[in-house]
Each structure stands twice: as C-alpha cells, then as structure tokens.
C-alpha cells in the first residue's frame, strides 16, 4: 500500500508538472480560458452571421460588397485594429478591407477571408434560415461564416488579453469569387501583405469527412483557355477537298479528343465548359452561346472554352505547351489558335505549410478536439491563399464547416462554429507569443 501511495504521489506530481508546462507554453493562459471566451459570445456570433448573410454581396454588386465590408470594419475597429480600404475601381470591383494591429511579439500573422459571394441580387437565394443546429443561406460557409469565425477568435483573444503586442493583419478581399482583371492589379496589395507575414491563416470553409477534420496545405490553381477555329465555308458536298478542307467542327473535335486522350496526369485536371460551331457563332463572356448552320454547309467557325487546375506551376507550364502543340497540328483547310488567361496560381505543398498545420493540429488537441489532417488537394478548389503561399507558410480551411457551397443549399454546421474559433484563437495566440 505504501508503494502504491508513493507511486500515486509521483504520478500526481508529474501530472502537475505537465499541466504547469502546458500553461507556461501558453503564456499562463491555458486553452480553457480562450475556449470559455469563445463560448461566451457564441450566440452573438450566430446573430451576427444572420445579419450579414441577409445583406447581398454578390461579387458584381459592388455597393453591397462594400456595405458588408463596412460592417466587418466596425467589428475590427471595436477590437482596436486600425482599418483602411484598398480601392479596386481600376478592375471594376468593390474595395478590399484591411485591418491591422502593430506589435513586437511573436510571428507576424496574416488572416485572410472574403466578403463576396457567388449569389448576385438576381439570385433567388438571399436569406438566412436556421434549422436547429444548421443554417442555410448565401455565404453562411463561403465565406461570411469564415470571417465570423475569424472575428470570434479575435474577440476571444481580446477578452483574455491575448491581442496585446500581437502583430496581426486581416485582409478581407472583395472579389475572391471572380477576381478583377488584370489579376496582378486586383491582388497586388494582397500579395504584398503576404510578403510581410510569417504565417498566413485562410478562413475559407473547414472540411470534415467521416468525423475527421481537414485543412489544406496545398490546393490547385485555376487557369482558363479558349480554342478558336477558322475554316472555309462551302457546300457540304465539297468537304475534304483540297480547296475546302475539313471544316471547323471536325477540327475542334480533333483538338478536344486529343486533349482528352493525351493531357492527363496526377494532381491536374482540365475541362471543357462550352463548345460551339457553325457557319457563324457568338459567345457571350457571361457564358451564353449561339450558332448558325445547316446540315449541308461546311462550318467556318468553332470555339471551345475550358479550364486547367494544377497543383504545381510547372504542371501548368507543361500542359499549356502540350495544348499549344496539339492545336497547332490543324486539319486541312483550318487554322486553330489557343489563348490562356491565368486566374489563381497553384498553392504547392511545402514543408513550411505542413509545419504550420502541425501547430494548428496541436492547438486542436490541446482543446480536446483531436488531430487535424491535410486535405487531398483534389478536394478543394482554387482560392486567394495561393497568391500569398509562395512567400509565406500558409494553411487554408480554418473557417466555418458546412457543405453545398455555390448552391442554393449552402449549409453551415452551427455546432462547429465555436470549435473552429477556439482552434484559430489558440493557434494565433501561440504564433504571436512565439511559443
């Protein structure tokens, strides 16, 4: 019995040392303090989400996006951040919102999210509707919910004194769903913010699969391509002759068939979103198309639009070169050309991103939520985090958890809101304290 009591005292003593060490690692404020601060305003966060979801901020609704930004601006100012606007008039978009706090401790942390949605004022999907522990609405996950998670984390840190001395910048873009062109202008200051940070946390949607939580350490970029074919117009009886050739639609079919058979490789996809051909065609940049033609006419025009999504920049370069070679081998009597428009760059996997994920996972475990793992890049689309990832360790997916993004069934799991805010708050605290 005496040996048991001695062993028990030793075990309790070791446990006390472990708890003390954990508290010291968090600057004397254990994770539970941050967790309680998040819980204390959880209902307010849902009410705030309902308010901003009811404000339309489709990317092309510039006044609406700006109004939502002003609501966010007031929240950041209440936390002691100074704010400024980055005009995007030159690219036809609402301004970006930047909130900053200077300090001298720990890492310089960049928090990113966006205030626009894919739902324009013409959409029938406009309101926040709660169903118990879930809610449906435009942007509840992508990404108004994500910005609310960010703000909840910062409010918790403010409540426990965790913002003191922290160097934090929040950059809320106004056009993530459809960046203004040229993208070099639309993302110039955003990229500069990344170059001046030590860690970037992106508050786009969190992902949960079969009870396991994931964030992204890598994600594919997105570029678009257009193939345009010109051919001779003639009576169909003359097709395949030396004077007329094969016609535009056979040529476009040749190109797309070779794309299908020859371009595939791991971590890269390509797609055809629209194809049209005839004696005359019209393609609307917004996505509409029309064509004139008859069964006895050799078509003179054809066009196809599509995209490329790749994980690494060298993949993008390689597939573009192969597409150009395929297009150049035109059928008789036709001439084809392909043009590219770069959108989002790839966010390639790096050791730094993996290390940042490990710190996030450690914060999750300290809060009792378990490990967080890296998401397969094929399961997340392109996004703003890729613009800064070449310059700073970056993870994406710290925002609200839900599904149905970009559809009229966009749904958020309200039970996960506090969990996501707690994880983010503790990670920010540890990064800005250098522990």
- Is residue 6 scored above 80 in pLDDT? no
pLDDT at 327 over 50: yes
| pLDDT score of 432 more than 90 | yes
pLDDT at 245: 97
Question: Could you read off the pLDDT of 92-120 as tens digits, one per residue?
Answer: 999 999 999 999 999 999 999 999 999 99
Q: Using one digit for the tens of pLDDT, what is the confidence trace for 122-162?
A: 999 999 999 999 999 999 999 999 999 999 999 999 999 99
What is the pLDDT confidence band of residue 17, given thresholds at 50, 70 and 90? very low
pLDDT tens per residue across span 189-201: 999 999 999 999 9
Mean pLDDT of 289-318: 94
Domains 25-219+347-433 and 222-344 belong to one CATH topology: no
| pLDDT band of 1, cuts 50, 70, 90 | very low
The pLDDT score that the predictor gives to residue 387 is 96
pLDDT range class, residue 29, cuts 50, 70, 90: low
Residue in 422, 392, 405, 415 with CA at minimum distance from that of residue 110: 392
Q: What is the CATH number of domain 25-219+347-433?
A: 3.40.630.10
| Least trusted range by pLDDT, from 11-20, 125-134, 174-183, 285-294 | 11-20
pLDDT band of residue 20 (cuts 50, 70, 90) is: very low
Question: What would the CATH number be for the domain defined by 222-344?
Answer: 3.30.70.360
72-76, 225-229, 347-351, 378-382: least confidently modelled range: 378-382
26: confidence class by pLDDT, cuts 50, 70, 90: low
Mean model confidence pLDDT for the chain: 92
> Which residue ranges make up each domain of the chain?
25-219+347-433, 222-344
Give the pLDDT confidence score for residue 27 in this predicted structure.
53
Evaluate if residue 385 carries a pLDDT over 70. yes
pLDDT value of residue 235? 95
């Amino acid at each position: 019995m005496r040996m048991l009591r001695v062993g028990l005292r030793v075990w309790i003593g070791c446990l006390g040392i472990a708890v003390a060490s954990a508290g010291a690692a968090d600057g004397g404020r254990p994770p539970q303090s941050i967790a309680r601060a998040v819980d204390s305003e959880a209902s307010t966060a849902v009410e705030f989400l309902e308010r901003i979801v009811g404000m339309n901020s489709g990317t092309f609704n510039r006044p609406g996006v700006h109004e939502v930004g002003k609501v966010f601006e007031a929240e950041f100012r209440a936390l002691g951040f100074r704010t400024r606007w980055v005009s995007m008039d030159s690219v036809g978009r609402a301004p970006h919102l930047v909130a900053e706090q200077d300090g001298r401790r720990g890492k310089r942390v960049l928090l990113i999210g966006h205030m626009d949605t894919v739902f324009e004022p013409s959409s029938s999907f406009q309101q926040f509707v709660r169903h118990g522990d879930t809610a449906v609405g435009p942007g509840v996950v992508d990404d108004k919910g994500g910005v609310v998670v960010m703000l909840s984390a910062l409010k918790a840190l403010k409540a426990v004194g965790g913002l003191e001395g922290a160097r934090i910048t929040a950059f809320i873009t106004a056009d993530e769903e459809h960046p203004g062109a040229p993208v070099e202008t639309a993302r110039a200051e955003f990229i500069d913010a990344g170059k001046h940070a030590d860690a970037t946390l992106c508050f786009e949607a969190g992902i949960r699969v079969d009870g396991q939580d994931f964030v992204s350490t890598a994600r594919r970029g997105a570029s678009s391509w257009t193939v345009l074919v010109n051919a001779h117009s003639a009576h169909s009886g003359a097709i395949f002759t030396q004077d007329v050739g094969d016609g535009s639609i056979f040529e476009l079919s040749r190109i797309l068939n070779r794309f299908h058979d020859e371009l595939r490789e791991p971590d890269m996809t390509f797609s055809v979103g629209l194809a049209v051909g005839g004696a005359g065609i019209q393609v609307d940049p917004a996505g509409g198309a029309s064509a004139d033609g008859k069964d006895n006419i050799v078509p003179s025009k054809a066009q196809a639009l599509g995209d490329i999504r790749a994980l690494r920049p060298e993949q993008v370069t390689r597939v573009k070169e192969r597409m150009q070679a395929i297009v150049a081998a035109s059928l008789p009597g036709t001439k084809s050309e392909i043009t590219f428009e770069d959108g989002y760059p790839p966010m390639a996997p790096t050791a730094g991103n993996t290390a940042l994920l490990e710190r996030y996972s450690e914060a999750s475990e300290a809060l009792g939520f378990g490990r967080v793992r890296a998401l397969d890049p094929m399961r997340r689309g392109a996004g703003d985090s890729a613009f800064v990832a070449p310059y700073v360790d970056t993870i994406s997916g710290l925002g609200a958890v839900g599904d149905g993004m970009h559809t009229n069934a966009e749904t958020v799991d309200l039970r996960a809101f506090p969990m996501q805010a707690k994880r983010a708050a503790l990670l920010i605290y540890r990064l800005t304290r250098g522990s």
